[in-house]
Each structure stands twice: as structure tokens, then as C-alpha cells.
A = this chain, B = another copy of it.
């Protein structure tokens, strides 16, 4: 039995998304227990609306406060010790749950997770990793915004963690890891990235060199490593471009009676395309490098998307991702000390 704690009040939609997502996924996963953390009255009312109540596999844990989406992380950490987010992470710390999932404020979630769970030995900073669709399948990209300034050593740690995650979750031996840079030639790019490349060449990681931004979507490596500023911009730029393309396409299909008809005829094609790049299927970014599993859902996730974030948590608990990172980084450190 795996137990996952949900910050049931987090995100733009709070309990109206987290509770139905919890109910749906419990039906699909018989070996899963969920703890809904938040204002008891609100959660019980939401359960009742779905003709459900607490059970052995669905427990409500009261937390009186909620972290606002735009609250500064330090203030959330200092002032909201009984927030749904904090209590969910406390449950991971105490061992009552093996993972926490939240659609709340990313900065506050990272600060709280780091403060409560601490990083694994040998890991200086946790990183945020997510999966993106590509021409050939999918790719894992980190860091997506936890670390604005990174040293070459940090990028190496991200590469090691990303590699372990992919090999654990996908059962892939020696996943290939690339560094995001601006030009594939060895002479190009920032000093930090060049030094990280040296460290990677000397490591156990299956390092396959530099990639440029376009190869995130068209390349065939398993993991792309970059600092959190660059990773966040890459992710957000993608969101903005996808929105613009959808907006223009929809405008063009609405131009006149003929284009409306073409739109109707193309609906199955467009729906098939949408399913293929549906960001909800990729929802659930992992905070890697902590003593425990913490998954961040997109703030405006709907029920399907939030389910995917819970599933990501279940998979990483099953595959013991934090334990594997702890073991492998631990043995890397030992080797270094002996050397």
C-alpha cells in the first residue's frame, strides 16, 4: 500500500479539482491510499457532492490555513505552519505518507519541501524536472526554475539525478543526458556550461554533448540539463507559442462559412493532435534531490491533469526514486573521497 498526501486546497481550483481527481484515481489504483489535507469542513462537503465520504483509503487531515498563489515563499514558510501544503509535506517527513502532491505556489512548495525534508547527502540543491513531448517520444528537462544561478557542479548533480529518475521510472539503462547550450560546437556557450561538460565527461553519466533549444523537441536524448532560469524561460516560451498558434488557428478556422466547414471536417484530426500534445498528460513536475517525493502540479490543472500528477507520485514511490538517488550519489561521494 502506497500513501500519498494531497494538498487538497492548493492550485487555482482547490478542492473542486483535487477531490474528484482523488476519487477517480482511487478507483483505478486499488493499492493506493490518499490523505486529503485541508479545511475539513470544505473537503467533507466536496466529498458529499460526489456522494462520497472518508474511508480506510481516503482520509481527511485538517489544516486550517492555505498558502496564497502569490505569497512570498519565506512568508508562507514562516507564517503558515498549519497550511494544507505544509501539513502534506510534514506527513512525508513523519513517514505517514510516501509522497506529497500540490498544485499550489511553486516557490512556497519548494521552500517548504526543502526546509522540512532536507536535500539528500551530496545534493546541494533540489531541482524541478518535468517531461515534455518530442517528435520521437518524450524528454525530461531540468531545472525548471528552482535554481536561478547554477555552478558546473550543480549542473552535474542535476544530470546525475535526471539520469537516475529516467532509469528508475522507465527502466532504461544509461539514459542519454545532454547539456542545453547555444551552439553545438565545443567552443561555444557559457563558461559554466563548458565546465559542466568537463565534469560530465569525467562522470558515470551517459553524456552525449551539447544540444540547442530546438533539439528539446526534435532531438532524441533522454534528459536535457540547464539552469533554472533558462529552463523556466524555455518552458514558458513553449506555453506562449502554443497558445499563440492555437489562437491563430482558431481565428483562421472561424473566418467564413467555408473555413468553418473545414474546421468541422478537421475536428477529429485536431482532437487527435491535441491528445498527442495534451499538456495534462505531462502534468506533474518532480522536485528531485529531497528526502522524499514531492510532485508539483500545474496551478490551473483540471481533474485529469491532477490525476496525472498523483500517478507520477505513485510511480516514483514504487520505483524508489529518492532512495536510488541517495544510494548512487552516496557511492559517488565515497569514490571521490577515496580518490
Contacts and interface: CB of A to CB of B under 8 A. Distances in A.
- Determine the interface band of chain A, counting residues with CB < 8 A from chain B: 35 or more
A148 B189 contact: yes
Contacts of A315: none
Interface stretch (A50-58, A200-208, A260-268, A305-313): A260-268
A252 interface: yes
Interface in A184-204: 185, 187-191
Contacts of A148: 182, 189-190
A243 B230 contact: no
Give the interface centre of A228, A236, A268, A277 by most chain B CB atoms within 10 Å.
A236
Contact of A235 (B213, B217, B276): B213
B241 A238 contact: yes
Contact of A240 (B183, B185, B217, B263): B217
A133 B255 CA distance: 20
A149 B190 contact: yes
Interface in A213-244: 213-218, 226, 228-230, 232-244
A253 B240 contact: no
Nearest to A191: B149
Nearest to A254: B269
A250 B268 CA distance: 13
Contacts of A145: 182-183
A218 B190 contact: no
A213 B237 contact: yes
A228 B185 CA distance: 16
Interface of A: 70, 72, 107, 133-135, 145, 148-149, 180, 182-183, 185, 187-191, 212-218, 226, 228-230, 232-245, 247-249, 252-253, 255, 258-259, 261-263, 265-266, 268-270, 272-273, 276-277
24 contacts: A134-B244, A135-B247, A145-B182, A149-B191, A182-B228, A190-B229, A213-B234, A213-B237, A213-B239, A215-B236, A218-B243, A230-B233, A233-B233, A234-B237, A244-B277, A245-B277, A248-B273, A252-B269, A252-B270, A255-B269, A258-B268, A261-B265, A262-B262, A262-B269
Given A182-B236, A252-B276, A259-B269, 4 more contacts: A135-B244, A213-B236, A214-B236, A217-B241
